[in-house]
Structure 1
Amino acid sequence: MAVGDTHFPAMPVIEGLRLGTAMAGIKKPGRRDLVVVEIPAGARVAGSFTLNAFCAAPVTLAKSNLAACQARGEAPRYLVVNTGNANAGTGEAGLRDARATCAELARLGGVTEEGVLPFSTGVIGEPLPMERLLSGLPAALESLDASDAAWRQAGEGILTTDTRPKGASVTLELGDRTVTINGISKGSGMIKPNMATMLAFVATDADIEQTLLDTLLRETVDRSFNCITVDGDTSTNDACMLIATGRGAQVVDDEEVAVFRNGLQRVMTELAQAIVRDGEGATKFVTLQVVDAASREEALDVAFTVAHSPLVKTALYASDANWGRILAAVGRAPLADFDVARVTIDLGDVRLVEHGGRAAGYTEEQGSRVMGQEEITIRIALGRGEEGATVWTTDLSHDYVSINADYRS
């Protein structure tokens, strides 16, 4: 089940970057479950990783390997991603397996072990089937390609409970040259990023200095992947990587940076929203806009309080115009000196709440009309300032429970 008709876009070639996949049988036979991304020498790479204290072994190793490469002024040369097994909650054995994966790919690719960054997604707490994983690496390398088909196959190769691959692409004009940005992501459940999403890999042919690349990743992640939630659970394996191959136009002056930032934000936001649209059991795509807040942080606090309310989410699923659930969630957000008389709440084009209670012109028929829609916007004006934030979420259906009850079977 998914919301909207989201197609995987055409992906232009990112000069210098190649992607390969293999069917290693990590969890199930006959599906792509191993992805290798080859990064050219001279590229620059930035990363954002989960803040979950039980972060997975590949996250720990990817962070340390990336730092080691950057300390030498080098870029990692390969990313390796497996699905079907998260290699999380696996202790020292999990770290040994992640290192062994990097070592084998480094040997096959003729690079240092620190030049390989590992990523995993799937079931937590189970050991990786290392023999199958390692035996799949040669096939993934043999299939390396820069084509649109390679991007689509990589998008398919990182999925778990997702129902469809997720991709986004933009081409930008920088003077007399063009810059391309491509990205893929995966995620459907255990989605409340605390840095990025389940997994996202974005690449551009732009030539961008490392400090600026780090800044752009942080800024765009904060307004995309850090603004989505399906179920309020931050994964152990979240990671978002941004690769700049340096083969295209330089991004240097303020105007170029602004154009590139806008394009990158568009890609990141499309990938993040695609995760929400494919949320486990989702039947609704919900935009929560909080305006007139004293700070962006308190706007996010209100938006996420509403987005995480099981009562609000189940009312959305039932198309039940029980506006009191939204009011109650706003009221328990962690705000000091909250004057409810200043708050207005709109459901689509219908005013629900004003002056501390139900809006005078509201009718149940109006609310039910909006709640029956597949895409819904809830707008909350706090009357406290000039800041705001937008969060995207889903409803909570019977299918969400079924998917997660049967996840390991």
Structure 2
Amino acid sequence: MQTLTENEAIKFITGGNILTPKGFKADGVHAGLRYSKKDIGVIVSETPANCAAVYTTSHFQAAPLITTKDSIAKEGLLQAVVVNSACANACTGERGLKDSNKMRELTAKKFHLKEHYVAVASTGVIGEFLPMDKIEQGIQLLSPGNDDQHAEAFQTAILTTDLVQKACCYSATIDGKTIYMGGAAKGSGMIHPNMATMLAFITTDAAVESNDLRLALKEATNKSFNQITVDGDTSTNDMVLVMANGKAGNSPLNQSHPDWPIFVQLLTATCENLAKQIARDGEGATKLIEVEVSGAETDEDANKIAKQIVGSNLVKTAIYGADANWGRIIVAVGQSDAKVVPEKINVSIGNIVMLHNGEPQAFSEEEATEYLKNETVKISVDLQIGNGTGRAWGCDLTYDYVKINASYRT
């Protein structure tokens, strides 16, 4: 899934992944946390990398997040991230934190790293303790490589109810050097970031100063991961983590560098691509919904409205049923606290105009139904009161979503 960018210097790398940037290796193995699928993975950088992360806003932040925050706080450097699926290690108290710290220690010893150079992530069932004997065995089995097979092993190991792996890669010419940025993510349900049940790991061989990398990640996240929703539920574990090891050989990037905007676009394109893949793979989903809002008083208002629409269960079920019920879109817009002038609003589904200047328009139901059968459905809203723009992504709501979540632990 290629993301369009405004800068032609940014190129989508077909078949690229987290190991396309120089100096990274990865692996994933089956340790017995799941019945048969891979369940522990690792990404390792050849050298310590500047890093940045954003985390769930849930009051119940899981133990791995606490461990990762502690690691990053020491020097602002990471050299590895270890991830397990099947068990979230969330709401597990002192024992959970002890187990998360033990995962960090075991990984550091396995790869001969400083302990605080290791980040930890977990995903899966909340309220269960990690089987540390299996975790330890799994870490010992990890043997990272830098080919596509090892990248896919990692991408598989981090999945839960996901149906597909999620990966992408982009490149750009920065400071006269070719910079690569790769990403891998998981997420399918309980998705309503700021952040939600999702993990995303981004690698780049760019040299970037730590403080500026954090600012770039925050900006990119607000335009991508924070604008997706599957079911409106925010979880306990999730984060986006970036490691920049400088292997491309460019002079360190910061906000004063003339190519800084290109780097931010590169990071945003990577985040947006992964975010859209997560939304498309929503539990039980059959369609990706993309909402574009223009003419808002501010970008913030536009983003609020876009996410309100894409998160509406009434909109999501209408899209699933291929029902061009634009009134549900209006209901969602009306619930937002953004400024709206009803007499000015335009609404379209695809290229079919439903509402113009607040007045309903005649349209072909057959044509609209046929459009809504597509795998990607676009909704456009123009408020006509300002220059603010925003986008959000989600998926339809189907019978299978209920089936999956009614038996999640079994």
- Does the 8 Å contact 2:192/2:231 carry over to 1? yes
- Does the 8 Å contact 1:42/1:246 carry over to 2? no
Q: Which of the residues 309, 314, 320 maps onto 2:312?
A: 309
Distance across 2 between alignment mates of 1:294 and 1:352? 22
Amino acid at match of 1:67: A
Gaps of 5+ in 1: 1-6
Q: Which of the residues 283, 286, 289 maps onto 1:286?
A: 289
The Cα shift of 1:279 comes to 1.0
Q: Which of the residues 21, 24, 37 maps onto 2:28?
A: 21
Distance across 2 between alignment mates of 1:335 and 1:113? 46
Residue in structure 2 matched with residue 407 of structure 1 by the alignment:
408
- Number of matched pairs: 395
Deviations 1:361-381 (Å, cap 9, x if unpaired)?
334234323222221111111
Distance across 2 between alignment mates of 1:302 and 1:16? 41
Amino acid at match of 2:202: V
Distance across 1 between alignment mates of 2:112 and 2:319? 53
Question: TM-score, normalised to structure 2's length?
Answer: 0.91
The Cα shift of 1:138 comes to 1.0
Q: Is 1:57 matched up with 2:52?
A: no
Q: Is 1:161 matched up with 2:167?
A: no
- Does the 8 Å contact 1:195/1:221 carry over to 2? no
Residue in structure 2 matched with residue 3 of structure 1 by the alignment:
none
Q: Which secondary structure does the structure 1 equivalent of 2:154 belong to?
A: helix
- Does the 8 Å contact 2:64/2:97 carry over to 1? yes
Gaps of 5+ in 2: 1-12
Residue in structure 2 matched with residue 235 of structure 1 by the alignment:
235
* TM alignment of 1:360-371, pairs within 5 A: 361-371=362-372
* TM alignment of 1:371-390, pairs within 5 A: 371-390=372-391
Q: Which secondary structure does the structure 1 equivalent of 2:259 belong to?
A: helix
Q: Which of the residues 128, 148, 159 maps onto 2:130?
A: 128
The Cα shift of 1:321 comes to 1.6
Q: Which of the residues 68, 77, 81 maps onto 2:79?
A: 77
* TM alignment of 1:250-289, pairs within 5 A: 250-252=251-253, 254-289=257-292
Q: Is 1:346 matched up with 2:352?
A: no
Specify whether residues 17 and 314 from structure 1 end up closer, same or farther in structure 2 by C-alpha distance, changes over 3 A only.
Answer: same
Q: Which secondary structure does the structure 2 equivalent of 1:282 belong to?
A: coil
Amino acid at match of 1:384: I
Distance across 2 between alignment mates of 1:388 and 1:152? 36
Deviations 1:105-145 (Å, cap 9, x if unpaired)?
223333333222110001111111111111111111xx111
- Does the 8 Å contact 1:346/1:353 carry over to 2? yes
Distance across 1 between alignment mates of 2:14 and 2:259? 27
Amino acid at match of 2:372: M
- Does the 8 Å contact 1:48/1:196 carry over to 2? no
Residue in structure 2 matched with residue 173 of structure 1 by the alignment:
173
Amino acid at match of 1:173: T
Distance across 2 between alignment mates of 1:296 and 1:64? 34
- Does the 8 Å contact 1:197/1:226 carry over to 2? no
Distance across 2 between alignment mates of 1:382 and 1:244? 40
- Does the 8 Å contact 1:22/1:33 carry over to 2? yes
Amino acid at match of 2:161: T
Question: TM-score, normalised to structure 1's length?
Answer: 0.91
Distance across 2 between alignment mates of 1:41 and 1:120? 24
